[in-house]
Structure 1
Amino acid sequence: MPTQAVQAQPITNAFSSFTQFWEDVKAIAGPYWYPTKPGDRTFPDVLRAWGMLILLILLIIGLVGVTAFNSFVGRYLVDSLIQDRDYDKFLNTLAVNIVGLVLVTLLVGFSKFVRKKIALDWYKWLNNHILDKYLSNRAYYKINFKADLDNPDQRLSQEIEPVTNSALSFSATFLEKVLEMTTFLIIVWSISQQIAVVLLAYTIIGNFIAVYLNQTLSKINQEELEFKAEYNYSLTHVRNHAESIAFFQGEKQELNIIGRRFSNLINNTERKISWERGTEIFSRGYQSVIQIFPFLVLAPLYIRDEIDFGQLGQAALACNMFAVALGQLINEFGTSGRFSSYVDRLAEFSNSLEEVTKQPENVSTIKTIEENHLAFEHVTLQTPNYEQVIVENLSLSVESGESLLIVGPSGRGKSSLLRAIAGLWNAGTGRLVRPPLEQVLFLPQRPYIILGTLREQLLYPHTNRPMSDRELKEVLQQVNLQNLLSRVDGFDTEVPWENILSLGEQQRLAFARLLITHPSFTILDEATSALDLDNEESLYQKLRETKTTFISVGHRESLFNYHQWVLELSQDSSWQLVTVEDYRRQKATEIATNPPENTEIIIDVLPNNQSQNPPELGTITGTIAGLSHKEMQELTDYSLASIRSRASLGKSTTGKDGFTYRYNKDSKVLKWVKI
C-alpha cells in the first residue's frame, strides 16, 4: 500500500498541476475571448477577435490541405517522368506543383501574419486590462505589503507579451501539426496499413516521453523567470539608490549581492542547457527512426513490383513530413513549459491585484465621509495587519483656514494619520470626515518627481492646465528656484530630474506645485526637512497666504511658528490637542520643573529700570545634552574651524533646528548648549 501511494502521487500532482494551469489560462484568456462582465469588451471587438481567429484556423486547414495535395502531385510528377516518360504530362504536373508551392508560401505567410496580429491585439488589451487593475483602487500601493509577490514591474513589462505570443504560437502550431500528422497518417494508411499502425503507436509513446521530459523543464523555466526578475531588480536597486551607495562606499557589497543573484541565474541556465540537450537528442533521434522505417518496410514491396516508385516516394515523403510535424510538436511542448511559467506568474499577479483591493471581511474599518472639512470622530487607527494600535479614540476637527502640526516620537504614527486621511490605511474604528481627495494636495518628505518636462513637473498632477512661461517663471521665483531654467533648455525639456535636483530643490519644486494648484487642503509630511530656516519660513508664509487649510508633520521647533494647533501623539497611543501657545508653555514648564541632565537653564535678566514680566515663550529653553564641535558643525552650515573660532570668542550660533547655541566654557561642561 505505501508503494502504491508513492507511485500515484506524481500522477495526482501532474493532474492537479494541469488543472490549475487550465484554470489560470481561462482566467487570463476568458475576459478577452469570452467576456462575462459588463464593460470588459465591446461586442464588435469580440466579434473582430473571433473573426480573425476563425480566419487563422481556415488558413491553417488550407495550408495542410495544399501540403497534402502537393504530396500527390509530387507522386504523379515522379510517375510521369520515370514510368510514363511523358514529357507533356510531366510539364503539366510540374505546373500544378508550382502552383501548389506558391499557395503554400502564401498560406504560410498570411497565417503567420494573422497569428501575430491576433497576438498583438490580445497583448494590447491584456496589458491595458492588467494595468487598469494595477492602478485602480491603489492596488499598486497595497500590493507592496504582499511579501510573497516579487517584482510586479517585471511582470508588467516583460511577462504579458510572451503569454499572448506563446499562446497563439502554440495553439496554431499544435493545430497545424496535428492536422498534418493526421493527414499524412491517412496517406501512409492508403499505401501501407502496417506502417500507419506502427507510426501511430510510435507517436503515442514518444509524446508520453516528451511530456515527462518537459515537466522538469517547465520547473526550470519557472525558476529562470524568478532569477531573472531578482537579478534585474538588483541592478535597478543600485540605480535608484546610487547616491546612498556612493556615500557608504558600498560598491563591493552591492557587487556581492548582484553576483549572488547572477550566479543563481547562471546555475539555472546550465541546468536548462543540460535538459534541452537531452530533449533535442530525443527529438532528433525520434524523427530519424520515422524517416528510416518506411524504407525498411516498403523497399521489399517495390522490389517485388507490388507498389510503384511514386508510391514509395510519397510514403517516404509522408513519413518524413509526419516526423517533422511530430518533432515540431514536441518542441512546442518544450516551449509550452515557458508559456505555463508566464501564465502562472501572470495569473498570480492578477489574482493578487484583485485580492488586495477587496474589502476584508469580518474586520472593522474606519468609515470615511466626504465633506468640506477634516475631522476624526472617535477614530482608533491600526496598522493594515491589525497588529498594532497607532492612535486610540482620536477626536478632533480642523476647520477651513486652520493649521495643525502633528508631533510625537518617531514611529508613533504621525505619517500613518496622513495615510488614513489619504485613504491608504483604514484599519480600525470610528469615522473620518475629509474633503474629496481631488481638493487635497500631499507633500511628502521626498517629493514625487515624474518622468517628464519641467512644465509637467510643475503642473503635476494636472499637467493639462494652461499656464504661460511667464506665470511659471513667477512661481519658480517665489520658491527660490529662479536659477533652475539656466540649467535646462526651457520648460519643455525632459531630463532625469531626480539626478539633477537636490532634495531641497525637489521640496521647493513641490511647493511650486502647491502654489499653482491652490488646493483647499494641504498635507505636509516633513516637507521642509531639507531646507534652511529662511527658505522654510518663506514657503510657509506663501502657504498661509493661499488661505489653504494645512496639516504638517515634523520635528523642527521652527514649525510651531506657522501653525495654530498641535496634535501630540504619545508612545501609549494616547494623544493631546492644544494650541501652539499652550504646547510651548507646557514644554517650557516641564523643562523648568525637571531639567534634564547636563542642561543649562538660562532666564533673561532685564535691566533694573524695566519691570520683571513673566518670560516670553521660548525664554526658558534647554537641551537634553550639550553638543560637541563636530555635532554643532552638522547642525549648522559652518566649517569645523569656524565653529571652534566662535566657541573661543563666545559667539552664539543658530542651528538648523531654529535654536540658538552658545559654547559653555565651564571645565565641567565644555559643550554647546541652547540659550
Structure 2
Amino acid sequence: MADEPSPDGPAGRPGTSDLRGFWRWIRAWLVAPDRGNARLLILGVVAMTIAQVVIQIRFNTWNRDFFDALDKRNAQAFQHQIIVFLVLAALSMTAAVYQLYLKQLLQLSWREWLTRRLTDAWLRDCRQYQLEACAAEADNPDQRIAEDVRLAADLSVDFVLGLLISASMLIAFVGILWSLSGPLDVALGGIALHIPGYMVWAAVLYALIGSGLTWWVGRPMVGIQVRRTTAEADFRFGLTRARESGESIALIRGEADERRGIDRSFGQVRGVWRELMRSQRNLMWLTSAYGTLAMIFPTVVAAPAYFAGAMSLGVLMQVGAAFGQVQASLNWFVDRFPNIAEWRSATSRLVAFQDALDDLEALAADPNQPTIAMEEIAEGEPERLELDQLEIAFSDGTTVIKGASAVIEPGERVLIKGESGSGKSTLFRAIGGLWPWGGGRIVTPPREAMAFLPQRPYLPLGTLSGTLCYPAPAEAFAAEAQRDALERVGLGHLADQLEEEQRWDRVLSLGEQQRLAIARLLLQAPRWIFLDEATAALDEENQDMMMTLLVESLPEAAIVSIGHRPGLEAFHTRTLTLEKREGGARFRRTAPRVVSEKTKRRRARFLASRAA
C-alpha cells in the first residue's frame, strides 16, 4: 500500500526495525481519516489513569492515618478512616471499571483499523495469490491477520497504558518516599556518606537488579515465541487442509499418512513449547524470588528508623506502601517480560507480512524491475487482447514462456494448447493480472468485460443465488433468469434451492460446479471469456454440450480456452500451441481441426433437445 508505513528490517526476525515499523503503524492510525474516535478514547483512558493515580496518592496518606489511629487506640479516628476508605474504594472501583472499558474499546478500535489495512493490502491487485506464490516468509496470512493482529493490538494498548500508569505512579510516589525516608548516614572504609532519600535509591537499585537479571534470563523467549507462533500456525493449517480434503483422503485411504503429517507438525509444536516452558521455568525462579523478597524488603530497610523512634507505625506503613508503588512502577519490565516476548513475536510476524506486501507493490511500481506490463484498452479504442513479446518467469527467475506474441480480436475463439509444464495455466494467470514476474506487455480489454473460469470454480459461502451470481450481488439478476440459467446447463434440479444456504462447494460435484460457472457466464454475458480447463470434469459429450451452449448463447463473445482434451478445437476458430524449448516455451500456430461427424451429431442432438 502506497500510503502505508513500510517496516525497515529483515522479515521474520524480531529487532529494532520491527519496533520502528510497528510504531509507524501507530502513528499512521492516529492521523488516519478512518481512525474513528481513537483520540477521544485515548483521552478518556488517560483521564481515568490520572484519576487512579490521584486516588492511590490519597490511599497512601490514608494508610498512615489508619495505622496511626490503631497505634494510638483512637476509636473515633479509626471509624472516620473506615468511612474515608469506603469513599476512596468506591471512587477507585469506578475509575478502574471505566478505565478497563475505555481500554477495551481502544483495543478493539486499533485492531479493527489494523485488520482493515492489512486485509485491504492483502486482498488487492491479486496480492493474496502472489504472496502464496513467492513469499515463504509470510506464510499463513490468515493466522497473522486473525491472531497476530489481536495480540499486537491488545498487548500494545496494555503496554502503553501500563507504562503510563507506572510513570505516573513513579513520579507521584518518588516524592512521597523521598520526603518520608529521610537521609541515611553510613561509613564505608572510613568515608562518611550522607544519602538523602535513601529509600528511593534502594527501590531504584532493587528494580535495576531485577530488570537486568530478567532480561538476561528471559531474552531467549522472544525468538522462541516467534517459532511457537509459526509452528502453531502450520499445525492449524494442516488440520484445516485435512478437513477441507476429507473426501479425497478417505477415498484413497490416506488417513495414516495424514496422521503422520499432523504428528510431525504437532511434534514441532511440542518441541518449541518445551523450549518455552524451560525458559519460563528459569524466569519463574527469578521473578518468584524477586517478588517474595519485595514483600519485606522496604520494611527491613526502614526498620532501623522505626526502632530508633524516628517514625511512627503509620509512617512506617506509609513508607512501605510508597516503596511498593515505586518498586512496582520500576518493575514494569520484570512483570511484563513474558507478554513482551509474545508481543514481539506477533509484531515480528506482522511486520514480515507487511514487508512481503510492500515488496510486491514495489515490484509492480518500479519501472526498472523486469515485470509484465499490463495495459488496458483506452475508452473508445477497439477492444483486443495483445501479447507483445511476452516473457513469463517463475518468482525465482526461471523463464517458462519466452517471446510470445499474439493478437486476439473481439469475437474470436482461440484454443491454447501445449504439453504439461509448458506454461498454459501460468499464461492464464498472467492475462488475468495475477502473475507479474517476467517481461513484455499484455494489452487487455476493460476488466469489467472479462470473465475467467479456472478448472475449479470459486463458490463463496451463502445462498445458491449468491453463488450463481458471484461476484455480482444476487439481486442483480431476476430469480427467473437465474432458474433459466440453471436449467440450460443441466442443473434444473437446483432451481428451487436458490435461497438455501449450504457449502455448495461440498454439495456439488466438480462437474456440477463447472456447469454452475457456465451458468454464471450466461447471466453475466461478458464480452471476453477465458477458460482454463473449465470443462475438464465433464465427459466429452457434456463438454461439447456446454461449449455449444456457450457459443450459441454468447455468439459475440471472444473465447480464449486453455485445454488439451479432444474435441475442443471444433469450438475455436484457431489454435495456438505452446512448444517447450530451451529458454522457455514459444507459440506455434496450427490450423483448426475440422469438426468431426461425431461432434456434429452430438451438437445436433443438444440443439434439438433445447428446441424441444
Question: Who is 1:663 aligned against?
Answer: none
Aligned match of 1:504: 511
Q: CA RMSD in A?
A: 2.6
Residue aligned with 1:483, SS? helix
Match for residue 339 of structure 1 among 326, 343, 352: 343
SS of alignment partner, residue 137 of structure 2 = coil
Give the distance between the partners of 1:376 and 1:293, measured in 2 at CA. 80
Superposed displacement of residue 17, structure 1:
6.1
Label 1:538 to 1:140 Cα distance change in 2 as closer, same or farther (>3 A): same
| Alpha-carbon shift at residue 146 of structure 1 (Å) | 1.7
Pick from 183, 189, 193: which aligns with 2:172? 183
Equivalent residue number for residue 437 of structure 1: 447
Give CA-to-partner distance per residue, 1:324-348, whole Å, 9 cap, x none: 5555642213211110111111011
Residues 1:464 and 1:407: Cα distance change in structure 2 (over 3 Å): same
Query: What's the secondary structure of 1:396's corresponding residue?
Result: strand
Q: What is the letter of the counterpart of residue 101 of structure 2? A: F
Structure 1, unpaired ranges of 5+: 1-12, 585-616, 620-653, 659-675
- Please identify, of 188-197 and 127-136, the stretch whose mean Cα deviation from structure 2 is larger: 188-197
User: Aligned letter for 1:580?
Assistant: P
User: Any residues of structure 2 matched to 1:392-407 within 5 Å, and which?
Assistant: 392-407=402-417
Is it true that 1:32 corresponds to 2:32 in the alignment?
Answer: no
TM-score by length of 1: 0.78
Measure how far apart 1:177 and its partner are.
Answer: 2.6
Q: 2: distance between equivalents of 1:230 and 1:298?
A: 55
Deviation per CA, 1:89-118: give whole Å up to 9, x if none: 333333222211211111111111111111
Structure 2 counterpart of 1:551, from 549, 557, 560: 560
Q: Indicate how the Cα distance of structure 1 residues 191 and 18 shifts in structure 2: closer, same or farther if over 3 A, else same.
A: farther
Q: Secondary structure at 1:382's aligned position in 2?
A: strand
Q: Residues 362 and 402 (structure 1 numbering): CA distance in 2 closer, same or farther, change over 3 Å?
A: closer
Matched to 1:199, the amino acid is: A
The answer (yes or no) to whether the contact 1:369–1:431 under 8 Å persists in 2 is no
Q: Could you say if the C-alpha distance between residues 303 and 149 of structure 1 is closer, same or farther in structure 2, counting changes exceeding 3 Å? A: closer
Alignment of 1:115-514 (within 5 A): 115-144=103-132, 145-192=134-181, 193-325=197-329, 329-358=333-362, 359=364, 360=366, 361-363=368-370, 365-370=372-377, 372-385=382-395, 387-485=397-495, 490-514=497-521
Task: Look up the match of 2:63.
Answer: 74
Alpha-carbon separation, structure 1, partners of 2:543 and 2:436 = 32
State how far apart, in whole Å, the 2-side matches of 1:569 and 1:305 are: 99
Alpha carbons of structure 1 residues 386 and 212: separation in structure 2 relative to 1, 3 Å? closer
Decide whether the 8 Å contact of 1:64 with 1:179 is kept in 2.
yes
* 1:226 match: secondary structure: helix
The 10-residue stretch of structure 1 (398-407 or 426-435) with the greater mean CA deviation from structure 2 = 426-435
Partner of 1:599: none
Aligned counterparts of 2:437 and 2:17: Cα–Cα separation in 1: 33
**Aligned-pair CA distance for 1:154:** 0.9
Whichever residue aligns with residue 332 of structure 1, its letter is R
CA shift digits 1:217-249 (9 cap, x unpaired)? 112211110110111111112123223322332
- The answer on whether the counterparts of 2:235 and 2:262 sit within 8 Å (CA) in structure 1 is yes
Aligned-partner residue type, residue 24 of structure 2: A
- State the distance in 1 between where 2:392 and 2:249 align: 34
Whether the 8 Å contact between 2:130 and 2:435 is mirrored in structure 1 is: no
Conserved? CA contact 1:403–1:564, under 8 Å: yes
Identity of aligned residues (%): 27
Amino acid in the other structure paired with 1:514: L
- 1:395-451 Cα shifts (integer Å, max 9, x gaps): 433222221111121211222332222122344454433211111111111111111
Indicate which of 29, 41, 49 corresponds to 2:38: 49
Q: Which amino acid aligns with 1:168?
A: V
- Tell me, in whole angstroms, the C-alpha distance in 1 between the residues paired with 2:453 and 2:209: 66
Contact 1:381 1:389 in 2 (8 A): yes
Q: Report if the CA contact (8 A) 1:218-1:337 is conserved.
A: yes
Q: Which of structures 1 and 2 has the larger relative contact order (alpha carbons within 8 angstroms, sep 6+)? A: 2
Distance 1:365 1:469 in 2: 41
Structure 1 segment 534-573 matched on structure 2, within 5 A: 534-545=541-552, 546-547=554-555, 548-572=557-581, 573=585
Counterpart in the other structure of 1:90: 78
Question: TM-score if structure 2 supplies the norm length?
Answer: 0.86
Q: Which amino acid aligns with 1:519?
A: P
Aligned to 1:107: 95
Q: CA deviation at 1:362?
A: 4.0
Q: 1:196 to 1:399 in 2, by over 3 A?
A: closer
Q: Could you tell me how far 1:515 is from its partner in structure 2?
A: 0.6
Unaligned runs of 5+ in 2: 1-9, 182-196, 603-612
SS of the residue 1:71 aligns to: helix
Cα distance between partner residues in 2 of 1:113 and 1:551? 57
Alpha-carbon contact 1:380-1:389 (below 8 Å) kept: no
Q: Please report how far the alpha carbon of residue 472 of structure 1 lies from its aligned counterpart in structure 2 after TM superposition.
A: 1.8
Structure 2 partner of 1:633: none
Write out per-residue CA displacement over residues 500-539 of structure 1, whole angstroms, 9 at most, x where no aligned residue: 1111011001001011111111111111111123322221
Residue number in structure 1 paired with 2:187: none
2 CA distance for matches of 1:426 and 1:189? 66
Distance of aligned partners of 1:184 and 1:280 in 2 relative to their CA distance in 1, 3 Å threshold: farther
- Distance of 1:135 and 1:541 partners within structure 2: 35
Partner of 2:136: helix, strand, or coil? coil
Decide whether aligned partners of structure 1 residues 271 and 414 sit closer, same or farther in structure 2, where only a CA change above 3 A counts.
closer
Aligned residue pairs: how many? 562
* Contact preservation (8 Å) 1:134, 1:140: yes
2:47 aligned counterpart, secondary structure = helix
Report deviation, 1:485.
Answer: 4.9
Question: Bigger radius of gyration, 1 or 2?
Answer: 1
Q: Distance in 2 between matches of 1:82 and 1:116?
A: 43
Residue identity matched to 1:184:
F
Task: Rate the CA distance shift 1:140–1:86 in 2: closer, same or farther, 3 A.
Answer: same
Query: Residues of 2 paired with 1:417 and 1:297: CA distance?
Result: 78
For 1:196 and 1:258, locate their aligned partners in 2 and report how far apart those are by CA, in whole Å.
55
Q: Are 2:60 and 2:321, in contact at CA under 8 Å, matched by a contact in 1?
A: yes
Contact (CA 8 Å) 1:227, 1:265: kept in 2 or not?
yes
